[in-house]
Structure 1
Amino acid sequence: MTKGIQNSETPLFLLSMMMENPEAAELCFPQLLNNSCRKPLPPQSDGMLVYIVLSFISLLTVTLNLLVIISISNFRQLHNPTNLLILSLAVSDFLVGLLLMPAEILHTEACWFFGDHMCALNYVVDFIITSSSVGNMVLISIDRYLAICDPLQYTNKVTLDRTKICVCLCWICSVLYNSLILNNFLRHPDEQNSCYGECVVILNNITGTVDFVFTFISPITVIIFLYARVFVVAVSQARTMRSHIATVALQRSVKVTAKKSEMKAARTLGVVVVVFLICICPYYSPTLVGQDIEDSSSSSPFVVWLLYFNSCLNPVIYAFFYPWFRKSIKLIVTLQILQPDSCNAGIM
Structure 2
Amino acid sequence: MFLASNRSTTDNCVNLSAPGGHSESTSGTLQSTTVKVCVVCILLPIPVLAILGNILIWASVVRFRSLQTPTNSFIVSLATADFLVAVLVMPFSLVGSVGTWCFGQNFCVAHFLLDLTLCTTSIFNLSCVALDRYVAVCDPLHYPARMSTRRVTLLLFLSWLIPLLVSSLCVSLGTYSLNAPSGHRGARQESQTCVAQFHTPYAVAVSTVCFFIPVLFMLFAYGKIFMAAQRQARWIHAIENQVRQLHTAQNPSRDDPNQPHPARRVGARVGGFSIRKEKKAARTLGLIMGVFLLCWLPHFSVNIAFSLWGTRISPVVLDAFMWLGYANSSLNPFIYASFNKDFRHAFAAILGFRILGRRIRGCLVATQEGNRVAC
What TM-score bracket applies, with the shorter chain setting the length?
Answer: 0.7 to 0.9
2:95 counterpart letter in structure 1: L
- After superposition, what is the alpha-carbon deviation per residue over 1:63-110, rounded to whole angstroms, capped at 9, x for unaligned? 111101221233211122221111111111112222222122111122
Instruction: Please tell me whether Structure 1 or Structure 2 has the larger radius of gyration of its CA atoms.
Output: 2
Which structure 2 segments of 5+ residues have no match?
Answer: 1-9, 16-27, 243-273, 355-361, 368-374
2:179 pairs with one of 192, 217, 232: 192
Contact 1:202 1:292 in 2 (8 A): no
2:34 counterpart letter in structure 1: S
2:276 corresponds to 1:275: no
Name the structure 2 match of 1:9: none
2:259 corresponds to 1:241: no
Contact 1:144 1:266 in 2 (8 A): no
Instruction: List aligned pairs for 1:1-348, cutoff 5 A.
Output: 26-28=11-13, 43-185=32-174, 192-193=179-180, 195-244=190-239, 268=284, 271-286=287-302, 289=305, 291-292=307-308, 300-318=318-336, 320-334=338-352, 345-346=365-366
Partner Cα distance (2:222, 2:65) in 1: 28
Partner Cα distance (2:233, 2:339) in 1: 20
Contact 2:46 2:326 in 1 (8 A): no
Give the deviation of 1:264 after TM superposition: 7.1
User: Comparing 192-201 with 174-183, which one deviates more in the overlay?
Assistant: 192-201
Distance change (3 Å), C-alpha of 1:292 and 1:92: farther
Partner Cα distance (1:293, 1:71) in 2: 46
Partner Cα distance (1:326, 1:221) in 2: 29
RMSD: 3.8
- After superposition, what is the alpha-carbon deviation per residue over 1:192-239, rounded to whole angstroms, capped at 9, x for unaligned? 356222112110111111112211221111111122122112111110
Q: Tell me, what secondary structure is at the counterpart of 1:138?
A: helix
Give the deviation of 1:290 after TM superposition: 7.4
Name the structure 2 match of 1:15: none
Distance change (3 Å), C-alpha of 1:196 and 1:29: farther
2:331 counterpart letter in structure 1: L
Distance change (3 Å), C-alpha of 1:289 and 1:173: closer
Give the deviation of 1:270 after TM superposition: 6.0
1:122 counterpart letter in structure 2: H
Distance change (3 Å), C-alpha of 1:62 and 1:240: same
Partner Cα distance (1:48, 1:291) in 2: 31
Contact 1:58 1:97 in 2 (8 A): yes
Give the deviation of 1:331 after TM superposition: 3.4
Distance change (3 Å), C-alpha of 1:212 and 1:26: closer
2:151 counterpart letter in structure 1: R
Structure 2 length as normaliser, TM-score? 0.68
Which structure shows the bigger proportion of residues in helix conformation?
A: 2
Partner Cα distance (2:43, 2:208) in 1: 30
Which structure 1 segments of 5+ residues have no match?
Answer: 1-24, 31-39, 247-258, 337-341
Partner Cα distance (1:116, 1:316) in 2: 36
Contact 1:112 1:198 in 2 (8 A): yes
2:300 counterpart letter in structure 1: Y
Name the structure 2 match of 1:339: none
Give the deviation of 1:162 after TM superposition: 1.9
Contact 2:11 2:100 in 1 (8 A): no
Contact 2:39 2:98 in 1 (8 A): no
- After superposition, what is the alpha-carbon deviation per residue over 1:104-157, rounded to whole angstroms, capped at 9, x for unaligned? 211112222212221111110000011111211211111111111111111221
Partner Cα distance (1:266, 1:87) in 2: 25
